[in-house]
Amino acid sequence: MIERRLYRAEGFGLAAKLRAVSWLYVTLLTLLALVGYVALYSAGGGPAPFANRHALRFAAGLVILIATALTDLRLIRRLAWPLYGLGIALLLAVARFGHVGKGAQRWIEIGAFQLQPSELMKIFLVLALAAWFRRASWERVGNPLFLIPPALASAIPVVLILKQPNLGTAVITALVAGSVFFAAGVRWWKFALIALAIGLATPLAYHHLHDYQRARIETFLHPESDPLGTGYNIIQSKIALGSGGLWGKGFLHGTQGHLDFLPEKQTDFIFTVLAEEFGLVGALALLALITTLIAGGFVIALRARDPFGRLVATGITTNYFLYVFVNLAMVMGAIPVGGVPLPLVSHGGSALLTAMFGFGLLLSVEVHRDVAADPEREPF
């Protein structure tokens, strides 16, 4: 504690920031990415085409993470709303110039790289909402008029993401925004009213879904009704999960994955590749690692002295938790398949790099948890 106070008094230089970085957390992230490399190596039958790309992207992500972690949290706060505006502009650009793939328009091509702005938008929305609620008192948060601007700021990206269409990411974006509202002190009964309204509107909304979205819901309810068509993915996923048994079939010996019964095995269903080859023990070990990362994120949120940092850490950690929850529930057949990857494990550049940027923000909250709370130091 004395050392941290000295950091504040002396301006908290680069060397002090590097010492304050949670290198244990960085190590756990690296371990998770290594698990992803092993899974993608198996999914591709070798280092190409997935595993090597994953390693290169993670290396780039580490640079992004460290650079973000060392960036003064007060500067990030100043950039929150400009970044939100950039995110909205990118979503609008997707609607106008976006790359169409598998019936959806979600990506912008930048050279050989495909950027999915909806991934970034979730992070930018967290920053903007945290900046809005940073100095809000309990009484002010209880005023419905005060909540209108952040509610609109949350609704705009959700609507734009729905139009791509990308229902899974839109729902996650709304829930992440809700987590920031809740952490800021918004009363629970307001969430209950919203949940009631959503429940009442669900039957009407169902008829406005795209055909493939309705098919996913029908498949979720009755996967056996079309085992070779819409129900094929989830049926094969369940077979792969069950066939791994307690200890698994061994690395590179998974039959569902290597005989190409399992579609999208490198992205949405990467967890089933691991579960089949390393069994229940391997799956639980992966879940323990992920749980440790999530718990660590919430601990950082609780330790943050600055409200902005606390809200950012809460939103970033909730975003990661929801991605993990939706992906695992999806491959187990607990919810409809929604095309949500498992960050740092699945193949995909936008999801991995965005996750590393988010974890960098999380570590920045930890590094600057004393400096950012100092009201007398506002250099930016």
For 145-202, the DSSP string reads HHHHHHHHHHHHHHHHHHTTT-HHHHHHHHHHHHHHHHHHT--HHHHHHHHHHHHHHH
34-60 pLDDT, tens per residue? 999 999 999 888 898 899 999 999 999
- In the predicted model, is pLDDT for residue 368 greater than 80? yes
Q: Give the pair of three-digit tokens for residue 156.
A: 């705009």
Per-residue pLDDT, 72: 92
CA distance 181 to 245: 42
Least-confidence region, from 97-111, 149-163, 262-276: 97-111
**What does pLDDT average to over the chain?**
85
Of 139-143, 155-159, 257-261, the range with the lowest mean pLDDT is 257-261
**pLDDT > 90 in the chain, percent:** 49
Question: Residue 14 half-sphere exposure, CB side, CA atoms within 13 Å?
Answer: 3
10 Å Cβ neighbour count for 98?
22
Domain ranges of the chain: 2-367
Q: What is the pLDDT of residue 100?
A: 60
Q: Residue 377: its pLDDT value, please?
A: 46
What is the reported pLDDT for 2? 39
Q: How far apart are CA 352 and CA 128, in angstroms?
A: 22
Query: In angstroms, rounded to a whole number, what is the distance separating the alpha carbons of residues 55 and 53?
Result: 5
Q: Is the pLDDT of residue 369 over 80?
A: yes
Q: Distance between CA atoms of 213 and 216, rounded to whole angstroms?
A: 5
Residues ≥6 apart with Cβ < 8 Å to 259:
none
pLDDT digits (tens, 9 = 90+) for 146-182: 999 999 999 999 999 988 878 888 999 999 999 999 9
Q: Helices in the chain by DSSP H: which ranges?
A: 2-9, 14-20, 23-44, 52-70, 73-78, 80-97, 117-133, 138-141, 144-162, 167-184, 188-206, 211-221, 232-243, 255-258, 270-303, 307-331, 349-367
Residues 125 and 157: beta-carbon distance below 8 Å: yes
In the numeric block, the tokens 């209108």 are attached to 148
User: Which residue, 56, 130, 116, is CA-closest to 364?
Assistant: 130
Tell me which of 373 and 155 has the higher pLDDT. Answer: 155
- Kindly report which listed range (75-84, 219-228, 257-266) carries the lowest average pLDDT score: 219-228
pLDDT band for position 201 (cuts 50, 70, 90): confident
Radius of gyration for the alpha carbons in the chain, expressed in angstroms and rounded = 21
At 339 the pLDDT is 72
Task: Enter the tokens of residue 126.
Answer: 């967290």
